[in-house]
C-alpha cells in the first residue's frame, strides 16, 4: 500500500504562510528595533542637551551650561570629547581655569584628529590664563613654567590641512610667541624682585651682632686707634707749647 499522503490544503494557504513569516521576522528583529530606537533617542537627547548648553554659553551663563551638560556623562558614549570640550568652555568662561584645563585634556584623549588642534588651542588659553594669574600673584617661577609649557605644546602638536585646523595652528603659533614674550618678562620681574630683597638682606647682615672673633678684632683695632690718637694729641700739645713759648 502506498504510504504517500496528499498535501494539507491548510498548509498551502498563502495568507496563513505570509502571516507566519511576518511573525518570525518580527521576533527576529524586535530586539534590534528596540536597540536602534534607544540609540536614536539618545542621539536626539545629545543634540538637544548640547544645543541647550551652547545657548547658555552664548548667553554668558556658564553655570546653567554646566548643569545642562551633566546628563551627557551617562548618555554620551559615542562622542565623549564633545562633553568635555563644551564643559571646558563653560568652566573657562566661569573663570575656573584649572578645571577647564582638565576637561580639555580629557577631550583630547577621544577627539578625532581633525578636531584636536581646536581643542588644544583652548587648552593653551586655559594654561595661559593660569600663568597670567601667577604673574599677578608674583609667583614668577610657576608663571615661567606654564608659559614654557605652552611653547612645548605648540611645538609637539601637528595640525592637518583643513581650513579650521590651519586657523587653529596659526592661533597656536601666536600663543607660543606671546608665551615666550611673557616668559621673558616674568623672568625679568623675578630677577627684579630678588634685587629688591638684597638690600634688606644686607641691612639684616649689618644689624647682626658680631661673632667673638670679630669682636676681638674690633677691640684690638679700637685699642690701636686710641693709642695712635693719644700719641697725635701729645705731639700736638708739644707743638702748641713751643709755639706759645715763642710768642711769650
* 3-state DSSP assignment of residue 109: helix
Q: What is the pLDDT of residues 156-215, one digit of tens each?
A: 999 988 999 999 999 999 999 999 999 999 999 988 876 765 555 555 555 667 677 767
Residue 236: its pLDDT value, please? 47
Whole-number Å distance between alpha carbons of 62 and 191: 39
Please report which confidence band the pLDDT of residue 245 belongs to, taking 50, 70 and 90 as the band edges.
very low
Geometric angle at alpha carbon 50, from 49 and 54, rounded to 5°: 120
pTM for this model (two decimals): 0.58
Task: Encode 111-160 in three state secondary structure.
Answer: CCHHHHHHHHHHHHHHHHHHHHHHHHCCCHHHHHHHHHHHHHHHHHCCCC
Q: What's the average model confidence in pLDDT over 221-242?
A: 56
Amino acid at each position: 500500500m502506498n504510504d504517500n499522503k496528499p498535501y494539507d490544503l491548510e498548509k498551502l494557504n498563502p495568507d496563513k504562510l505570509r502571516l507566519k513569516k511576518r511573525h518570525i521576522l518580527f521576533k527576529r528583529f524586535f530586539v534590534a528595533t528596540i536597540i536602534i530606537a534607544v540609540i536614536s533617542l539618545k542621539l536626539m537627547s545629545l543634540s538637544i542637551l548640547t544645543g541647550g548648553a551652547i545657548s547658555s554659553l552664548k548667553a554668558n551663563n556658564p553655570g546653567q551650561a554646566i548643569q545642562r551638560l551633566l546628563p551627557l556623562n551617562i548618555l554620551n558614549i559615542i562622542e565623549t570629547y564633545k562633553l568635555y570640550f563644551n564643559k571646558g568652555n563653560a568652566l573657562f568662561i566661569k573663570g575656573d581655569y584649572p578645571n577647564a584645563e582638565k576637561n580639555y585634556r580629557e577631550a583630547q584623549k577621544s577627539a578625532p584628529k581633525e578636531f584636536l588642534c581646536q581643542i588644544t588651542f583652548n587648552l593653551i588659553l586655559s594654561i595661559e590664563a593660569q600663568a597670567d594669574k601667577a604673574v599677578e600673584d608674583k609667583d614668577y617661577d610657576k608663571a615661567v613654567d606654564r608659559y614654557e609649557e605652552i611653547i612645548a605644546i605648540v611645538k609637539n602638536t601637528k595640525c592637518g590641512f583643513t581650513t579650521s585646523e590651519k586657523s587653529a595652528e596659526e592661533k597656536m603659533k601666536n600663543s607660543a610667541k606671546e608665551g615666550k614674550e611673557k616668559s621673558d618678562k616674568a623672568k625679568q620681574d623675578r630677577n627684579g624682585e630678588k634685587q629688591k630683597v638684597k638690600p634688606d638682606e644686607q641691612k639684616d647682615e649689618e644689624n647682626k651682632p658680631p661673632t667673638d672673633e670679630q669682636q676681638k678684632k674690633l677691640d684690638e683695632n679700637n685699642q690701636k686707634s686710641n693709642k695712635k690718637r693719644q700719641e697725635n694729641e701729645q705731639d700736638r700739645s708739644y707743638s702748641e707749647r713751643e709755639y706759645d713759648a715763642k710768642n711769650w
